[in-house]
Structure 1
Amino acid sequence: MSDNNIHKDVLPQLAELELIVHKPIIITDADEVLFNFMQGLEQYLEDQGMYFDWSSFALHGNIRHKKNDQPVDSEKFPVMLDNFFNDYADRLPAVEGAAENLEKLSKDAQIVVLSNVPPKYAEKRKAGLKKAGLNYPLIANVGAKGQVVRHMTDKSKGHAFFIDDIPHNHGSVAKHAEHVQRLHYIADERLAKLLDKAEDSHVRLNDWKEIHDHIKDTLNRC
């Protein structure tokens, strides 16, 4: 299949990625899967005189100014999010259990972090992963994830897993890489309560122990 729909900043990263064809692969998101994104965002917003209104899962419309409770203007949102990644991409707190359970799984599978962190902050994200004991290859993605997952797995002879908190990412992977098992996980319990299991995921899991056991059991059955 063509890679024409993969962003130009992502293709060179994929070209450098070395994968073992016969070994299972775990492709995991970072924010709200490996890192407590919302905890870091709330601290950043506090410093900026803003807060997150937990009315829904979306960021747009839920980030408000403390002084008047008005949402951040949509045209200012990209700059605000960019500033957040600049300040926090290398120092978000790690999700409990992520490092130790991935370390166990790494004995049987290769692990790749597929994160929609802006590519210009990829090195900061790598530093954050290393500090958290999550020193795995990173693909700083732009846009939907399905074509990138397909690229990483279409020649693989091993089982493939995809872990993400965002439902439309599961939909994209279901469309372009149907053979990949899709695990829905949202680390922040407050966010998790706002969203049901992603329609295009195979299973919703609640912590890294459950993720480890699910993947391990699947591999043992293969």
Structure 2
Amino acid sequence: MPENNPLPPPASPAPATAAQLAELRLNPGRPLLVVDADEVLFYFMRGFERHLQDQGLYFNWQSFALHGNVRRRADDAVLPQTELGPLLDGFFATATDLLEPVDGAADALAALAPLADIVVLSNLPLHAREARATALHRHGMPYPIIANTGPKGPAMAALLHHGPKRAAFIDDIPHNHASVAKLAPAVHRVHFIADHRLAALLPPSEHCQHRGESWAAMAQHLARELGS
């Protein structure tokens, strides 16, 4: 999903994130694949555009950012930053379990599951975690879901405490790759943006080792990285 003025990365996961991480049961010594959800497993922007239309708004597609691109249809005015948070909360509350799965995601993860533990690390309100879990199961991706807030480096570093043999991370947002590169530099980082309109607005993150173009191609790449 597009960026929304990220804050500086904290040193450790937020308390709610840490509590969810503590409940995970992973296999020490087994590879680990950590996957974002919005614009990686689900088409966020397709659903978000429908939500904006219902609110009398539209997305301007001028940059990979929410602030400045969400505008009112009536007068073309930019939606103030103070209104973006409530808008996103409303979207996640009503549409999380309605988003379309990204082409090939379920099949690719199913092919990778024998090679690695898989965890979905998604920035969404905690109240939407159950709806996201429901959507994951409905679309053939029954993997544990962590509802995170803020940059993802702290959560990724905490996941490494489980002792995976090697680890990979997939996300669409550059500052999440920067955060993981800083706090968990040994993790193999893959930058992937499912919506081609968004992908065209953003070059590969300087903090990733690979830019994914499709799940079919990423599955082959990750099988080499995690199975080597």
Q: Does 1:141 align with 2:148?
A: yes
Alignment partners' CA distance in 1, 2:131 and 2:67: 24
- Report the residue type matching 2:128 in the other structure: Y
Residue from 6, 25, 30 that aligns with 2:32: 25
Q: Pick one of 70, 91, 115 that aligns with 2:122.
A: 115
Residues 52/4 of structure 1: CA separation in 2 closer, same or farther (3 Å cut): closer
User: Is 1:153 the counterpart of 2:146 in the alignment?
Assistant: no
Selected match of 2:46 from 36, 39, 42:
39
Q: Which TM-score applies when normalising by structure 1? A: 0.96
Query: What is the CA–CA distance in structure 2 between the aligned matches of 1:219 and 1:23, rounded to whole Å?
Result: 9
Could you list the per-position Cα deviations for residues 15-60 of structure 1 after superposition, in whole angstroms to 9, with x for gaps in the alignment? 1000101111100000000000000001111111111000000011
Residue equivalent to 2:6: none
- Cα deviation, residue 155, structure 1: 4.1
- Alignment partners' CA distance in 2, 1:29 and 1:217: 20
Q: Partners in 1 of 2:76 and 2:140 — Cα distance?
A: 38
Can you give the 5+ residue segments of structure 1 that lack an aligned partner in the other structure?
none
Query: Aligned AA for 1:219?
Result: L
Q: Secondary structure at the match of 2:49?
A: helix
Task: Name the SS for the 1:213 alignment partner.
Answer: helix
Q: Does the alignment pair 1:9 with 2:23?
A: no
Whichever residue aligns with residue 68 of structure 1, its letter is: D
Q: Distance in 1 between matches of 2:162 and 2:19?
A: 18
Residue identity matched to 1:74 = Q
Which residue does the alignment assign to 1:214?
Answer: 221
Q: Partner of 1:203 in structure 2? A: 210
Q: State the distance in 2 between where 1:219 and 1:55 align.
A: 36
Normalising by structure 2, what TM-score? 0.93
| Per-residue deviation, 1:219 | 3.3
- Give the residue type in structure 1 aligned to 2:111: K
Alignment gaps of 5+ in structure 2: 1-9
The Cα shift of 1:73 comes to 1.6
What whole-Å deviation, never above 9, does each CA across 1:111-155 have from its counterpart, x for those lacking one? 000000111211111111111111100110011110110111134
Which of residues 128, 139, 143 in structure 2 aligns to 1:132? 139
Cα pair 1:101 1:209 within 8 Å, conserved? yes
Distance in 2 separating the partners of 1:190 and 1:6: 31
How many aligned residue pairs are there?
Answer: 219
SS of the counterpart of 1:161?
strand
Contact 1:117–1:125 (8 Å) recurs in 2: no
The 3-state SS of whatever aligns with 2:52 is helix
User: Partner letter of residue 204 of structure 1?
Assistant: R
Asked if the contact 2:67/2:80 (under 8 Å) is kept, the reply is: no
